[in-house]
Structure 1
Amino acid sequence: MIRQEFGGTEEIGEGQRVRVLGLMSGTSHDGIDSAIVEWSMTAGVLTGTVEHTGTRPYGRELRERILAALPPNPTGMAEVCRLDTLIGQAFADAAEECGPVDLVCSHGQTLFHWVENGRVRGTLQLGQPAWIAERTGAPVVSDLRVRDVSAGGQGAPLVSRFDLLLLAGLPGASGALNLGGIANLTVRDPGIAYDTGPASALMDAAVSAATGRPFDEDGRLAAAGEINEDLLRDLLAEPYYRELPPKSTGKELFHPGYLARMASPYGAALPDLLATLTALTAETVATEIRRHRLETVVVSGGGVRNPVLLGMLRERAPEARITPSDELGVPADAKEAIAFSFLGWLTAHGLPGTVPGCTGASGARILGTITPGRGPLRLPPPLRGAPDRLAFVGS
């Protein structure tokens, strides 16, 4: 062990405690989730104490600029530069609200995920980490996805290593499902992970276009509608659903223009359209749950708050017990921020954050780049062994 300066704190190593702030903004583009977790590892068990979770919404102007920059809209380099700064400052604001930590791990905001013929060729997350380091004084791990992409992987879902450790103690066939803008599923056996398709991405686009509101709160509009079976059939014909994992997707495919092209011939009223889009998410996810014969599915993300979606999912996958990640000590709304806190801990300790079977990379890789904080950057020596199980305790 060595003395190191994650902001000038204590020596770090096996059994030592490190407080890592995870920052995440996903494909819903609505704000920045944060989670501070104190990590310590003993005898292969990495124990996390969740000390803080929160969300800082994007300001209206910034969110509108992010949405305007997304595909298929044209965007110039001047706007990319401005967004990199503005998003970085927004992440710094979110980090500053959380208080002092030893390390920050920032996912940033995905603006583009470059996929051609099923292969990811590049990925772009904005949110300049220097703003976070300057504001907090702590080192910042960032730009995590591109290392996996450079090794031939999808760069997603990056939460798979966290998921597999979290699921390790559950009986029977189990999986972890995140319902954000895009839905992703991790299957413990045989150890694979992939994006299944849209979760709220198309639903949010429909609500925003019709009402200006960001989402269908509690699924109320969808609950008042009826599924248009013809539209649902056409939506389910999307070739992405038939591709084999590893695979990943985003709003490069499932964007408002895609929805308008698919839905406009039907002229469905908003409640019926939302009921149909909810059924699309439920069916595409349930198909994968049935394919892997999962007995337990641990669910997280904003979709957990949509009772209509969860109800449709349970109807279509009746053999699976679908339960929120809170049951395992991981707050469902903050699961991805907690997972990025975990990835930051791995990087700081010289441990890989990817599972090649999940992303399709040629091998496991240590993720991200590190921006120093105010003091000299002194990382702990690499640990001899990676954790083989995760455990969470109350703060």
Structure 2
Amino acid sequence: MPTEHYIGLMSGTSTDGVDGVLAEFEGAAIQIAAAASLPLPAELRRDLLALNATGLDELARAARAANGLADCYAQIVERLLAESGLAPAGVRAIGAHGQTVRHAPEAGYTLQINAPARLAERTGIAVVADFRSRDVAAGGQGAPLVPAFHAAWFGDRPGRAILNLGGIANVTLLGEPVRGFDTGPANMLMDAWAQRHLGQPYDRDGTWAASGHCHAGLLARLRGEPWFSLAPPKSTGRDLFSPDWLRAHLEATPGTKQLAPEDVQATLLMLSVVTIAEAIDRHAPDTHEVLACGGGALNTALMTALDQALPCRLASTAEHGMPVQSVEALAFAWLARAHIHGHPACLPAVTGARHATIAGCLYPA
């Protein structure tokens, strides 16, 4: 099979930036030829976050935000091409996930802000987008999307789990069949709290959380969210785990009115840790190794707490040749290739769909 090049682009639930990779595929072998990241402009980030709730003039605001996101995607593509020395004609397709602003598979829809035609026009490269809708139409969750890629990269290793620590945490359980599901918040609530109280996009290394103390009553109330008790397949996002959700629990928990902000941050970190550990113990008790990726894998406090909570070995995907911040972007390069070759990549054992589906829609160059 001839060598093919694909680009993968991902802006995740944290809504803080865009990661991109240019991947080289030769048969089953995959190599990263170039990687780049770009923070989202503050105004665009604000607009995307605002679209997670209803408001005036939503359709026009969504269209403008989609164009702005596509322009950021195009900048990443330009950087990847410059770093690799490839011309646009040398790239078969771009996999561009878009920014999720609504996710309600139980109501039959999921919505990712994107402008793939604009991206194809700006880059001169075909774009594969809208990866979730067909699976939702087949009765699935439309998420998580990456387990099939995890299995392709990390192999059929029963007992190994891949843990993505993005805005939302999701876990892939390798084996036959491959399974995967969201476990709840990873960084999303911590990032929002840090932005509110520190004026920073996130709590670097979890230093602020480490300076606080977990509030047992608040943690117990947060863990009481019924979603955590649902059996897979399941997925979630800002529709549920929003700042308003946190605010309501803070107001309803005795003894939190005078709680220091860093203590809330410490409690949110432990919420992520405990719900991840409980989900793995409940649904994959034979797991002997967890490989973490995503921005949360760079959070020292989070990883330390996870290492203490998990009954098995915790490592990062970097130890297996995969930089932690490149995993999801590479997954969308892989998903774009699967679409081009007509390979189903949405797995019923993961999403709960009636049958496997080919993910995405093609926008030719």
State the AA in 2 paired with 1:195: D
Per the alignment, in what secondary structure is the counterpart of residue 250 of structure 1?
A: coil
State the AA in 2 paired with 1:238: E
Say whether 1:340 aligns with 2:332.
yes
State the AA in 2 paired with 1:354: C
- The aligned counterpart of 1:309 is 302
- Map of 1:62-141 to 2, 5 A cutoff? 62-71=44-53, 76-99=58-81, 100=88, 101-115=91-105, 119=106, 121-141=108-128
- The aligned counterpart of 2:268 is 277
- The aligned counterpart of 2:161 is 175
- Map of 1:30-41 to 2, 5 A cutoff? 30-41=16-27
Q: What is the rounded CA distance, in whole Å, between the counterparts of 1:103 and 1:76 in structure 2?
A: 30
TM-score normalized with structure 2 length: 0.93
- 1:84-138 Cα deviation digits (max 9, x unpaired): 22222221222222113231110011111124xxx25111111201121112111
Task: Identify which range, 326-335 or 74-83, moves more after superposition.
Answer: 74-83
Q: What is the rounded CA distance, in whole Å, between the counterparts of 1:241 and 1:23 in structure 2?
A: 29
Per the alignment, in what secondary structure is the counterpart of residue 325 of structure 2?
A: helix
Match of 2:244 among 251, 257, 262: 257
Q: What is the rounded CA distance, in whole Å, between the counterparts of 1:369 and 1:231 in structure 2?
A: 43
Match of 2:293 among 293, 300, 324: 300
State the AA in 2 paired with 1:54: A
State the AA in 2 paired with 1:102: R
Per the alignment, in what secondary structure is the counterpart of residue 166 of structure 1?
A: helix
Contact 1:89–1:127 at 8 Å: present in 2 too? no
Q: What is the rounded CA distance, in whole Å, between the counterparts of 1:351 and 1:339 in structure 2?
A: 14
Contact 2:148–2:178 at 8 Å: present in 1 too? no
Q: Which runs of 5+ in 1 are unaligned?
A: 1-14, 374-395
Say whether 1:359 aligns with 2:351.
yes
Say whether 1:371 aligns with 2:363.
yes
Q: What is the rounded CA distance, in whole Å, between the counterparts of 1:54 and 1:297 in structure 2?
A: 26
- The aligned counterpart of 2:85 is none
Contact 2:36–2:79 at 8 Å: present in 1 too? no
Contact 2:195–2:202 at 8 Å: present in 1 too? yes
Contact 1:88–1:127 at 8 Å: present in 2 too? yes
- Map of 1:234-253 to 2, 5 A cutoff? 234-253=221-240
Q: What is the rounded CA distance, in whole Å, between the counterparts of 2:212 and 2:119 in structure 1?
A: 44
Per the alignment, in what secondary structure is the counterpart of residue 194 of structure 1?
A: strand
Per the alignment, in what secondary structure is the counterpart of residue 247 of structure 2?
A: helix
More contact order relative to length (CA 8 Å, sep ≥ 6) = 1
Q: What is the rounded CA distance, in whole Å, between the counterparts of 1:367 and 1:74 in structure 2?
A: 32
Contact 2:156–2:174 at 8 Å: present in 1 too? no
TM-aligned CA deviation for residue 327 of structure 1: 2.0
State the AA in 1 paired with 2:313: R
Q: What is the rounded CA distance, in whole Å, between the counterparts of 2:134 and 2:239 in structure 1?
A: 21
- The aligned counterpart of 2:147 is 160
Aligned residue pairs, count: 350
TM-aligned CA deviation for residue 166 of structure 1: 2.9
- The aligned counterpart of 1:325 is 317
- The aligned counterpart of 1:350 is 342
More helix per residue: 1 or 2? 2
- The aligned counterpart of 1:49 is 31
Superposed CA RMSD in Å reads: 1.4
Q: Which runs of 4+ in 1 moved over 4 A?
A: 72-75
- 1:294-318 Cα deviation digits (max 9, x unpaired): 101111000001111111111111x
TM-score normalized with structure 1 length: 0.86
TM-aligned CA deviation for residue 142 of structure 1: 0.6
Q: What is the rounded CA distance, in whole Å, between the counterparts of 1:303 and 1:281 in structure 2?
A: 10
Q: What is the rounded CA distance, in whole Å, between the counterparts of 1:96 and 1:356 in structure 2?
A: 36
- 1:194-242 Cα deviation digits (max 9, x unpaired): 1100001111111112222111011010010111011000000000000
State the AA in 1 paired with 2:122: R
Q: What is the rounded CA distance, in whole Å, between the counterparts of 1:95 and 1:221 in structure 2?
A: 35
TM-aligned CA deviation for residue 191 of structure 1: 2.4
Match of 1:184 among 170, 184, 195: 170
Per the alignment, in what secondary structure is the counterpart of residue 177 of structure 1?
A: strand
State the AA in 2 paired with 1:199: A
Contact 1:120–1:153 at 8 Å: present in 2 too? no
State the AA in 2 paired with 1:332: V
State the AA in 1 paired with 2:270: A
Per the alignment, in what secondary structure is the counterpart of residue 333 of structure 1?
A: coil
Contact 2:7–2:93 at 8 Å: present in 1 too? yes
State the AA in 2 paired with 1:314: D
Q: Which runs of 5+ in 2 are unaligned?
A: 82-87
Contact 1:95–1:136 at 8 Å: present in 2 too? yes
- Percentage identity across paired residues of the two chains: 38
Q: What is the rounded CA distance, in whole Å, between the counterparts of 1:206 and 1:61 in structure 2?
A: 19
